[in-house]
A and B are shown apart, each in its own frame.
Chain A
Amino acid sequence: MNLTRFRSWLKWIAKGQRLESEMEAEVRFHLESYAADLVRQGLSQQEAMRRARIEFGGIESHKDAMRASVGVRWWGELGSDMRHGLRLLRKNTGFAAVAILTLALGVGANTAIFSIVNAVLLRSLPFPEPDRLVKIFFNNPGTGVHGVLYSVPELDDLRNRAGVFEYVTGTERGSVNLTGGSRPERLEMLVSSPNYFSMLGATPQIGRLFGPPDFTPGFAPSVVISDSLWRRNFAAHRNVLGQTIRLDNDPYTIVGVLPPDFRNPGRTNSHDIEVWLASGFTAASDPEPTRGARAFPSAMGRLKPGMTLQQAQARLTAMAVEIRHDFPTDYPSENKWMIEIQPLQEALVGNIRPMLLVLQAAVILLVFIVSLNIANLLLARASGWQQEMAVRSAMGASRGRIARQMLTESLLLSLMGGAAGVALAVAMLKFMPRFIPSSIPRLNEVSVDWPVLAFALLISLLTGLVFGLAPAIHSTRADLSVATREGGRGSGYGVKTDRLRNSLAVAEMAIAAVLMIGAGLLLRTFRDLLKENPGFNPTQVVTARVNLPFPSDPSEDPYRTIVKQSAFYRELGHQLSAIPGVELAGFVSNLPAAEVGFTFALGIEDRPSNSGDDLRAKDFLVSPDYFKVMQAPLVRGRFFTEADEDGKPRVAIIDESTARRYWPDRDPLGRRLRMGTGAWMTIVGIVKDIKQDGLDVDAVPHIYVSIYQEFDPAEGYVFRDFSVALRTSLATSALEPQIRHQVQSVDPTLPVYDVASMNELLDRSLASRRFSAQLVGGFAGVALLVASIGIYGVLAYMVGQRSREIGLRMALGASRTDILKLIVTRGVVLSIIGIIAGVIFSVSTASMMASQLYGVRPHDPVVFLAVPLLLFVIAVLASYIPAWRATKVDPMLALREA
């Protein structure tokens, strides 16, 4: 279509109504002019008009040809098809309601899930040129350790020696106490190299971000704050710039406020980062910047323009080899120390991708089953029209035209369902944040935007095509002579249509089986996790988090020495145990299933391969009463006592799996180990394994250290965050103010936050599994319902169509049981075929779900037996109703009708 024609076509489309009347006027003018000429030749007015009409030919068909000339005929037909479709839907509101409702559910679920997928997996990070941002990992593939810490010289190598980065920034997350306000507050903090914001390409809302004055060896005196902190604590006043705030007692000057949509590209914790500090990581308070002082957890970089990921990786691999060669003592050869980069977006969402993809697959199956079901309903209804269609095609309507008409109605239906679905998705997203686990990154970006709407439209149109095409094609296959001869008795399209309807029902059953098996596996995983023994008794334990400040300025540090810290813990323990209703109080550096502890190289005395990184353990500081509070059983040896303090022999407690792993044939009690290059500690006790990293994580070796003894895995590393654990019969809400009061009576600058029962914490650690299990379970339930409607529909239709045959059979002596058996067998055969197909499909694809399962194999026999059985029972029930109705056929009535 060239431009002239396209413009002319557009003109018609745009001004359709006016051009239609112009066409009318033009034809009238012609007729009247001709009639006038005929009158002049002597004919009567009436006769002249009659002749004019005859000689002009069929006015309507000429008009149609005129429309066709400019290619707008189908447009007009579309309008009339739509009116026809709407009329049909209005006439059959029950059908329309079921179709639109189920579609809305299918499209809505798809849209909601896709909006999460879109925000989390697809949309680029909200920074300029996000493709150039990478996360940098240091790995020891030789010993299978991913993500070792790095040191300042290594950071410098990346900046100066590698030549692939425009910026490299080290980051370290932590939390600080904000004091000076009405009450102390604990804030999430990010310490980074000063080029952090330049690397991300961020701009401030007001003030400035880090710049040249902030390039200092230690902490820069500037702080950048988030929009939320600005609004909450400074009433969004511009005069915040230049104000001093105290973070962990150190004074910092606020230099800038970030825009509301800025977020650190990292994992979403319970709270977003609200203060950003810059540091050169080389001040007196930092570890000596040697290669071996690996204390920094995380680094990001921006590749130079034009540098591809592969080029950069190749250069970094080569550089790592050079560095290993240059500093053999810092990089033991068996570690095969390596630098690896990953696109920042991938690094951010990598571990959440499988779960989201499983959810998206589940909702796509759901909408597919919904559309198959509507296809089945439409097919049943379409066979009622067979006579009408036959008459229409006998009158000359083309097959394409009839098919188009039916397709228009289907698309109309799917668009209405789609619109309702989008509305439903918007509503779902409103209240979904309460159910979506907050560990999913970038959740704040989830919204229904154009790509999401486009996806919803696509899904709607595709489903409309799926369920519209089958009846449309079949309506055009109607055999004219048969249909007209059979007259009013709508007897279906015979064997072919039956076969189509049956296969639709089978497909529905198969998809329902796939969804149910997936849901079964996820639910079983979840249920097993709920029953998992955490290694302690979580009921009647209330916890709260507290941070001891860690100022850079030693003179501002009230907790400078372990002696002062010990005194604090003893005093606080005393105060907390005095709360009426509290039996016992304990302290721990990291609560089970709530906080990720740090992993350190474990040194074991008398162990030949004592090279550092191949032995790793997580360590936890605990007070003497902690294990008693948690009721964690002691296997052998003893717990810590008040005497295990500074100046006494250093002691450690290990868990059972650590004992089994490193001292398989010896008694570990009395043996010595150390964290990194720290002091040697003697093992005095063995406890049962505690699910420290979450119920769904297998144990890494855990080492427990007395909170009263200096902890020095690496020079200068200090634990200052701790949690309170209380064994009590009181409720969390009742205890919270008392805990805060007691903590602040010891030190009024300490914030108390995240007060929760231990059971809540365990529960929260399963949030993401609960989310996917419940969601997929819900989808599977809907699928089961829809599929049983499918089976029911096919049989009910069959009973209606074959009532004469049934009557005849009964008249010839068939018993009601025979009839019942006849119909139910049909349903059972269909569902068994569907179930078998679904099981085969699941068996071949279940391994894709393996990453979502814990403690349940992808081919779990229980699920693979229970689900088909359940489906079978449901199918029998769905078949029984129409079968029972068939037995109510009155043979006399059925025969008379024939």
Chain B
Amino acid sequence: MGKQIDLLQGTLDMLILKAVSLGPLHGYGVLLRIQQISGQQLEIQQGSLYPALYRLEHQGWIASEWGESDNNRKAKFYSLTATGRRQLHSETEKWNRMASLIASILRTTPEEI
């Protein structure tokens, strides 16, 4: 693993929703997928993933089911629910607006004021 970036506060939920939107995953799978998509650049404390998963399930955005893993072991798989999909959509939109706003603010040069 190369140099890693600490996860921004409040973004873990969004990343989990994104990860499971691509197909059902167990907890470890969610971790691997996020690291894979981010090119191993994000530092996530492994244990903190689970309270987040439980919270999202509690809110009804993801659903869980026990199934069989690749190595034929019982594992709990999480998948996105319909409300979760809507949530991901609106979170993504919000994030994009916020990101472009912050970016445009940071691009500002003295002449533009």
Q: Which residues of A contact B (CB under 8 A)?
A: 4-5, 8-9, 22, 25-27, 29-30, 32-34, 36, 55-59, 61-63, 65-66, 68-71
Contacts and interface: CB of A to CB of B under 8 A. Distances in A.
23 contacts: A22-B76, A25-B76, A26-B50, A26-B75, A26-B76, A29-B28, A29-B75, A30-B27, A30-B46, A32-B73, A33-B28, A33-B69, A36-B71, A55-B45, A55-B46, A56-B46, A56-B47, A57-B45, A65-B48, A65-B51, A66-B51, A69-B52, A71-B58
Interface string B58-73: 1110000010010101
A69 B51 contact: yes
A5 B46 contact: no
B74 interface: yes
State which size class the interface on B falls in: 20 to 34
Interface in B68-100: 69, 71, 73-76
A26 to B, nearest CB: 5
Given A30-B27, A33-B28, A62-B51, A5 B58 contact: yes
Interface of B: 26-28, 31, 45-48, 50-52, 54-55, 57-60, 66, 69, 71, 73-76
Contacts of A57: 45-48
B78 to A, nearest CB: 10
Contacts of A26: 26-27, 50, 75-76
A4 B59 contact: yes
A459 B69 CA distance: 55
A4 B60 contact: yes
A65 B54 CA distance: 9
B46 A66 contact: no
Contacts of B48: 57, 62, 65
B19 to A, nearest CB: 15
A66 B54 contact: yes
A58 B47 CA distance: 7
A874 to B, nearest CB: 59
Contacts of A68: 51
A61 B71 CA distance: 28
A25 B58 CA distance: 19
Given A34-B28, A56-B47, A62-B48, 6 more contacts: A9-B58, A22-B66, A30-B27, A57-B45, A62-B50, A70-B58
Contact of A25 (B45, B46, B60, B74): B74
Contacts of B66: 22
A29 B26 contact: yes
Contacts of B71: 33, 36
Given A34-B28, A69-B55, A70-B54, A59 B47 contact: yes
A640 B60 CA distance: 97
**In the complex, the 6 A-B pairs of residues with the closest C-beta atoms, listed nearest first:** A57-B47, A65-B51, A4-B60, A62-B47, A69-B54, A69-B55
B59 A5 contact: yes
Contacts of A32: 73
Nearest to B83: A4
A5 B55 CA distance: 10
A883 B57 CA distance: 64
A8 B81 CA distance: 15
A8 B57 contact: yes
A62 B53 CA distance: 12
A838 to B, nearest CB: 54
Nearest to B44: A55
